[in-house]
Amino acid sequence: MENKIHLHDKSFKIFIPNEDIEKAIDAVAARLNQDYASSTDEDPVILLCTLNGAVIFAAELLKRVNFPLVLKACKLSSYEGTSTTGVVKTEIPLPDNLEGKKVLIVEDIVDTGGTIVALTEQLKAKKVADVRVCTLLLKKDVYKKDVKLDYVAMEIPNRFIVGFGLDYDELGRNIKDIYVLDE
């Protein structure tokens, strides 16, 4: 683990080491295994990975959960550089045939909540039976939406971070630790 990294024109310092991330994922996976224990092959959970950021978190969850599921993906975005635009764009739409299904949204980070609100509205329009939200990280100080976050691995302050799937202009997703902007 390096204490500092540089991406594009910015410097970042270590914030959350990988071993802490792994422990938090273990705890969330244990809760998911309990809550979805009654899932069956005939009625599997749809694990909906939000691209690109949640790929690593979703992959780690997949290694730890033991209930029947189907992996699907979608892509919504609202970030440019280090800040949110406030406008949620759908880049890869939701899959078809979700009506009556149990959907678990897997998100890398929830901050203002615009993406989660847009996604849950789209899922409700598709008449899913149940929608739950699982996020690796929550910026609790800025999240003011009414959508319930069912599974939160870690709460963090409102700082710009990279690593473990999170990026700065597409760089840094492959870093196993999480780094914070060094201001």
Active site residues: 111
Residue type, 107: E
Helices (H) and strands (E) in the chain, counts: 3, 10
Phi, psi of 136 (to 5 degrees): -65, -45
Closest CA to 110 of 175, 154, 61, 172: 154
CA angle, residues 65, 67, 69, in degrees to nearest 5: 95
CA 107-108-110 angle, 5° bins: 75
Identity of the residue numbered 145: K
What contacts 57, CB < 8 A, 6 or more positions away? 25, 106, 107, 108, 136, 153, 164, 165
